[in-house]
Amino acid sequence: MLKTTSQSIMDDLSSAKNLSLDILRRERWVAKEVRRFKKIGFRKSFTTQIIVGVGESDVEIIKSLEKHYRLNASRVYFSAFTPIRGTPFENRKGEDVKRVANLYRVDALIRKYGFKAKDFVDLIDRNLPRVDPKILLAEKYGNPDLIHIPGIGFKAAKLLKNGYTLLDLKKMGFSIKRAIPYLTNQRRLTDFK
């Protein structure tokens, strides 16, 4: 399903579609059917897509992510707005792919790493700054868990919990540059050069 974050933006995109009735109601119906098929043993899921760059804020998109995942969407995809000649939006500016990339990062942090939409929404007024959102969170909230440290994914976090050092990880081929400032209990920075 293709959508945006508010009825006012939907009104700009389509004179015939109602976000709540035509899009979100259908998504809830699809989610219900997916749950029904899963109960009888089928492996089913659904995805949705949000157009980025037609007037919505990152805050609106991030809040909508959580709603879609509560309905058990398996993924939320983002499509950067691109103007098309001969349409009412032909003179609108296309969306920056860096913005879309940051939204995909936020999506992964919510979907895979256990972050909540609130973690991001509390940090920004409207749109994300052009830095990795994991760094933004680490700078604001600190690092309660290894998996929340920038540059540390699931495999590296598991190795660190098992007693490996950043130097060990570097020797294994992991990139540790982004994690160094957040793991101050590790060896001296000069050891990593």
Provide the whole-model pTM. Answer: 0.82
CB 120 within 8 A of CB 128: yes
Q: How many residues does the chain have?
A: 193
What pLDDT score does 18 carry? 85
Instruction: State the angle between helix axes of 97-111 and 133-141 in degrees (0 to 180), rounded to the nearest 10.
Output: 60
Q: Cα(68)–Cα(22) distance, rounded to whole angstroms?
A: 15
pLDDT by residue for the chain (193 residues), tens digit each? 457 888 888 888 777 888 888 888 888 899 889 888 888 888 778 899 999 999 999 999 999 998 889 888 899 999 999 999 988 889 999 999 999 999 999 999 999 988 899 999 988 889 999 888 988 888 887 766 888 888 899 999 999 999 998 889 999 999 988 888 888 776 555 555 5
Q: Which domains, from first to last, does the chain contain?
A: 2-141 (3.30.750), 143-193 (no CATH)
End-to-end CA gap in the chain = 48
Residues 6+ apart with CB under 8 A from 124: 58, 59
H or E element that contains 62: helix 58-70
Helix axes 58-70, 97-111, angle to 10 degrees: 40
Question: Tell me, what's the pLDDT at 143?
Answer: 64
Q: How far is CA 129 from the centre of its chain?
A: 14
29 contact partners, CB below 8 Å, separation of at least 6: none
The three-state (H, E, C) secondary structure of 102-134, written as one string: HHHHHHHHHHCCCCCHHHHHCCCCCCCCCCCHH
Looking at residue 187, its pLDDT comes to 57
